[in-house]
Amino acid sequence: MDQASGLRGGESGVSGGRRLHLPRVISITSGKGGVGKTNVSANMAYIMATRFGLRVMVLDADLGLGNMDVLFNIRAAHTLQDVLMGKMRLHEILVPGPGGILILPAASGVEEMTSLSPEQNLRLLEEFENLSMGLDVLLIDTGAGISENVLTFNLASRETLVVVTPEPTSRTDAFALMKVLFRRQPEKPFLFLANMVRDRQEGVGLFDLVSKVADSYLPGLSLSFAGHLPADPSLTQAVRAQRAIAEMLPGAPFSKAMEQIVRTLLSRPPREGGEGGVGLWMKRLMTAGEPSSKSAPG
């Protein structure tokens, strides 16, 4: 089977050699900062593009403190702020990244970007509907925590990957984030990614700790183990060089583990069916803050 054919079904990807132009939308998030979320997003995008031949776009959705361009050592002349102010079109701010990935850079140090107005959401909707790139995957690198922007981007995505480290604060904040999202959208599935662990055993143990708490306090929450990433000292070397470790050191433990996570993720179609597409995702984005028709228990 061709590697890319794992991205199949009505959602997105490659089917019979024909690109369907319906991207798989995955948000990558965390309850607290400093857990390696942006490194996960960057390396996942690079591996999807270079190892699996997929057309990938990364949306830096940490709108006030964007740093995806910094991680890739890319100088972004314009950001989403210029789009929201009506100065630029979305396709004009796209920045090419390594391996052929596309990056939508966010503003940095702009407080106004941390809370979008309905008018700004509408402008983004119009821009995304006009953006036809034949994408296979849209990765959304969200901010950390439970701010309205973080919640909105996660609620709008079909799949949410929650990055958690062994730190107690990371576990408790991840649970808090999932709790808030679950209360708004009880049917939403979550993928648990254990980062900075010694081995798979520690990663599974971390997942078990959080899932047991979820079973007790959030019955009905769908939480699956997506894999583990080792605490790899060479990752620091790649960050300082402003390169994805999967590009700079493809044989590093982190790089190999990330490729396995991507392979597993692409082999399993998302739980939700139905139509996809970036335009539809933006429509979901605009309604994500509305209360769910289902009410969560408790």
Q: Residue 250, exposed/middle/buried by CB under 10 A (0-12, 13-18, 19+)?
A: middle
Of the candidates 235, 231, 245, the one whose C-alpha atom is nearest the C-alpha of residue 198 is: 231
Q: What's the CATH code of the domain at 51?
A: 3.40.50.300
pLDDT at res. 150: 86
pLDDT at res. 67: 72
Say yes or no to pLDDT of 278 above 70.
Answer: no
Residue 188 forms part of a structural domain:
yes
Q: Between 193 and 156, whose confidence is greater?
A: 193
Residue 22 forms part of a structural domain:
no
Residue 7 forms part of a structural domain:
no
Sheet holding 102-104, edge to edge: 95-96, 102-104, 56-61, 137-144, 24-30, 159-164, 189-197, 222-230
Report how far residue 61's alpha carbon sits from residue 142's, in angstroms, rounded to the nearest whole number: 5
Of the candidates 134, 143, 47, the one whose C-alpha atom is nearest the C-alpha of residue 97 is: 47
Ranges 110-114, 198-202, 219-223, 282-286: which has the least confidence: 110-114
Q: How far apart are the first and last CA of the chain?
A: 45
Of the candidates 257, 266, 102, the one whose C-alpha atom is nearest the C-alpha of residue 193 is: 257
Say yes or no to pLDDT of 153 above 90.
Answer: no
Distances in Å between the Cα of 137 and the Cα atoms of 26, 119, 215 are: 8, 26, 31
Say yes or no to pLDDT of 141 above 70.
Answer: yes
Confidence label for 19 from pLDDT (cuts 50, 70 and 90): very low
Q: Between 124 and 105, whose confidence is greater?
A: 105
Q: Residues 86-105: what's their mean pLDDT?
A: 89
Residue 92 forms part of a structural domain:
yes
Residue 1 forms part of a structural domain:
no
Residue 183 forms part of a structural domain:
yes
Report how far residue 173's alpha carbon sits from residue 17's, in angstroms, rounded to the nearest whole number: 42
Residue 9 forms part of a structural domain:
no
Q: Is residue 77 within 8 Å of 86, Cβ to Cβ?
A: no
Q: Please state the φ and ψ torsions of residue 18, each to the nearest 5 degrees.
A: -115, 125
Share of the chain above pLDDT 70, in %: 73
β partners of residue 141: 28, 60
**For 248-258, how does the pLDDT look when each residue is reduced to its tens digit (9 = 90+)?**
999 999 999 99
Q: Between 108 and 201, whose confidence is greater?
A: 201
Confidence label for 224 from pLDDT (cuts 50, 70 and 90): very high
Q: Residues 240-261: what's their mean pLDDT?
A: 96
Both tokens of 260, joined, read: 């396995």
- Which of 76-90, 103-117, 179-193 has the highest mean predicted lDDT (pLDDT)? 179-193
**For 36-86, how does the pLDDT look when each residue is reduced to its tens digit (9 = 90+)?**
999 999 999 999 999 999 999 998 887 655 577 778 888 778 888 788 778
pLDDT at res. 80: 80
Opening angle at CA 117, ends 111 and 123, nearest 5 = 110
Q: Is residue 93 within 8 Å of 78, Cβ to Cβ?
A: yes
Both tokens of 276, joined, read: 């996809």
Residue 199 forms part of a structural domain:
yes
C-beta neighbour count of 143 within 10 angstroms:
22
Q: Residues 114-134: what's their mean pLDDT?
A: 66
Confidence label for 157 from pLDDT (cuts 50, 70 and 90): confident
Query: Token pair 């309205």 is at which residue?
Result: 148
Mean pLDDT of the chain: 81
Confidence label for 292 from pLDDT (cuts 50, 70 and 90): very low
Say yes or no to pLDDT of 279 above 60.
Answer: no
Domains: count for the chain? 1
Domain that holds residue 274: 27-286
pLDDT at res. 75: 79
